[in-house]
């Protein structure tokens, strides 16, 4: 009899002990979840004494501690009490599922703080806490309990009562449905998906803006280089023009026409004086030669006194106002034989055009090292001439580099080859002389190779 009684007591103990062990492990898991949550709230809100929850050994001690400091932390009133009093995570289900539901409830409550959710760093710390609490719930293991069939039998024998337990009334008198926790979980998942979608959209937008910025920077850099190149070319042209203006014997542009006219008049006066001297010398020699035979003939004739010979009229002195042909042609002399005109037209060489043409004083009889244009004066009409580019390749290269200054005013061309080194004459230009200035009537047609 005693043996049977001992066996019965031992069996009852084996049936009750696992349930007690499971309950103690459940309380420890809950304590770990709540202490981690409280530690997070203290650190997130920059409250002191966050490490005091490390020494808590039971739920009763934890509840007493958060009640004591509820005025500063509000953990008890806003987090612990609504979840524990609601108790919908305690509904008849497996212990691990209860812990998972508790974690979801805490996470959903903590996400209701707008300041925390608007700060990305605090939101990341909250996500880390959520993962840590999920790990605590996942690590919980319940030993096989023999008391579980009792609950299953109760449900099987009275399914209406089990269904009725699906809803209950919390201590505040509020009816809570079993699906409320699932709604909180779905809200949390939806918030996570919304946050993830928003982050992805912002990332794509940032990448697109970065690419647009790169394209704009490239285009801006290209335009800056283009403008810089144009400025350098203009600077070279200005330097060349300044060198040309500062040549010896040249003055400002305003007095260039007057100086040219004065130089031409001076040259004409010199030529007239020289021709007058040579004409007078020839005239005196021919007069003395013609008078000697007359005197000798007079001596041979009879001594009859001849009547006085009429005095010959004096040779008229040419007036300065006469034309050049009249001054250069003696009146009593036989016209000199015409100078043979050369078969080839006379060539002059010039560097660059100025004021739409070439000044006579800028022309050279022989090509210089920097001569760009060859001017051929017509033998039929000396006031007309044609011009073209010389065939010197080294001059071509420098002329192309300073095309704006050297070629623009005298030539028609298209700068379609930036690497050109040679100039080809397609059609010569036409010049007309006006007061010692060769004016460009038609530009020369050229192209580059």
Tokens of 250: 């040249």
14-44 pLDDT, tens digit per residue, is: 444 444 445 678 888 888 998 898 889 988 8
Residue linked to tokens 């200035």: 437
Q: What is the mean pLDDT of the chain?
A: 73
What does the pLDDT read at residue 324?
47
Rounded Cα gap, residues 283 and 315, in angstroms: 10
> What DSSP state is assigned to residue 374?
E
Rounded Cα gap, residues 328 and 449, in angstroms: 50
Which residues in the chain show pLDDT less than 50? 13-21, 143-179, 249-258, 290, 293-304, 309, 311-313, 315-325, 327-328, 332-335
What does the pLDDT read at residue 308?
52
What does the pLDDT read at residue 330?
52
Q: Which of 41, 156, 19 is nearest to 107 (CA)?
A: 41
Tokens of 251: 């003055």
Q: What is the pTM of this model?
A: 0.31
Q: Is residue 445 within a helix (H) or strand (E), and if so which, with residue range?
A: strand 444-448
* Residues 107 and 188: beta-carbon distance below 8 Å: yes
**Alpha-carbon separation of residue 299 from 88, 206, 286, 305, 307 (angstroms):** 172, 128, 21, 11, 14
Q: Which residues contact 439 (CB under 8 A, 6 or more apart)?
A: 356, 357, 431, 432, 433
Q: At what angle do helices 2-44 and 59-68 cross, to 10 degrees?
A: 30
Tokens of 282: 């020839």
Q: Which of 386, 387, 357 is nearest to 372 (CA)?
A: 387
3-state secondary structure at position 433: strand
3-state secondary structure at position 330: coil
Strands 444-448 and 411-412, by their bridges, are: parallel
288-336 pLDDT, tens digit per residue, is: 554 554 444 444 444 445 555 454 445 444 444 444 445 445 554 444 5
Instruction: Give the full edge-to-edge strand order of the sheet including 411-412.
Output: 411-412, 444-448, 423-427
> What backbone phi and psi angles, to 5 degrees, belong to 255?
-100, 10
Rounded Cα gap, residues 75 and 113, in angstroms: 13
Count Cα atoms within 13 angstroms, Cβ side, for 319: 3
Q: What is the DSSP string of 204-259?
A: HHHHHHHHHHHHHHHHHHHHHHHHHHHHHHHHHHHHHHHHHHTSTT---STTHHHH
127-151 pLDDT, tens digit per residue, is: 999 998 999 888 876 544 434 433 3
What does the pLDDT read at residue 200?
84
Q: Is residue 168 within a helix (H) or strand (E), and if so which, with residue range?
A: strand 168-169
What does the pLDDT read at residue 373?
94
What does the pLDDT read at residue 18?
46
- What residues does 255 pair with on adjacent strands? none
């Amino acid at each position: 009899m005693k043996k049977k009684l001992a066996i019965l007591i031992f069996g009852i103990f084996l049936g009750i002990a696992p349930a007690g062990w499971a309950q103690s492990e459940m309380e420890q898991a809950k304590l770990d979840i709540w202490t981690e949550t409280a530690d997070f709230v203290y650190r997130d809100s920059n409250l002191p004494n966050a490490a005091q929850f490390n020494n808590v050994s039971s739920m009763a001690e934890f509840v007493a501690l958060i009640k004591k400091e509820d005025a500063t932390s509000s953990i008890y009133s806003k987090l612990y009490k609504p979840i524990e009093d609601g108790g919908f995570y305690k509904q008849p289900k497996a212990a691990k599922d209860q812990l998972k539901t508790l974690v979801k409830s805490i996470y959903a409550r903590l996400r209701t703080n707008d300041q925390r959710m608007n700060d990305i760093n605090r939101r990341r710390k909250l996500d880390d806490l959520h993962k840590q609490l999920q790990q605590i719930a996942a690590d919980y293991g319940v030993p096989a309990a023999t008391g579980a069939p009792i609950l299953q039998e109760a449900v099987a024998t009275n399914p209406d009562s089990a269904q009725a337990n699906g809803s209950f009334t919390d201590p505040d008198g509020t009816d809570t449905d079993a699906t409320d926790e699932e709604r909180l979980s779905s809200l949390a998942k939806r918030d996570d998906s919304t946050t993830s979608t928003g982050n992805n959209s912002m990332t794509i937008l940032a990448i697109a803006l970065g690419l647009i910025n790169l394209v704009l920077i490239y285009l801006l850099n290209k335009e800056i280089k283009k403008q810089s190149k144009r400025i350098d070319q203009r600077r070279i042209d200005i330097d060349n023009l300044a060198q040309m203006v500062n040549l010896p014997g040249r003055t400002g542009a305003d007095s260039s026409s007057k100086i040219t006219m004065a130089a031409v008049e001076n040259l004409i006066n010199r030529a007239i004086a020289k021709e007058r001297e040579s004409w007078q010398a020839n005239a005196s020699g021919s007069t003395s030669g013609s008078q000697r035979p007359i005197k000798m003939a007079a001596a041979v004739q009879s001594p009859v006194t001849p009547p006085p010979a009429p005095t010959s009229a004096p040779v008229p002195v040419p007036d300065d106002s006469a034309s050049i042909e009249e001054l250069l042609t003696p009146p009593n002399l036989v016209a000199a034989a015409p100078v043979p005109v050369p078969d080839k037209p006379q060539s002059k060489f010039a560097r660059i055009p100025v004021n739409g043409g070439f000044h006579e004083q800028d022309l050279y009889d022989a090509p210089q090292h920097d001569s760009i244009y060859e001017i051929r004066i017509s033998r039929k009409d000396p006031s007309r001439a044609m011009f073209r580019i010389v065939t010197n390749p080294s001059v071509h290269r420098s002329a192309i580099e300073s095309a704006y200054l050297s070629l623009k005013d005298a030539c028609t061309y298209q700068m379609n080859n930036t690497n050109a080194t040679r100039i080809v004459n397609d059609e010569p230009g036409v010049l007309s002389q006006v007061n010692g200035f060769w004016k460009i009537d038609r530009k020369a047609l050229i192209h580059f190779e």
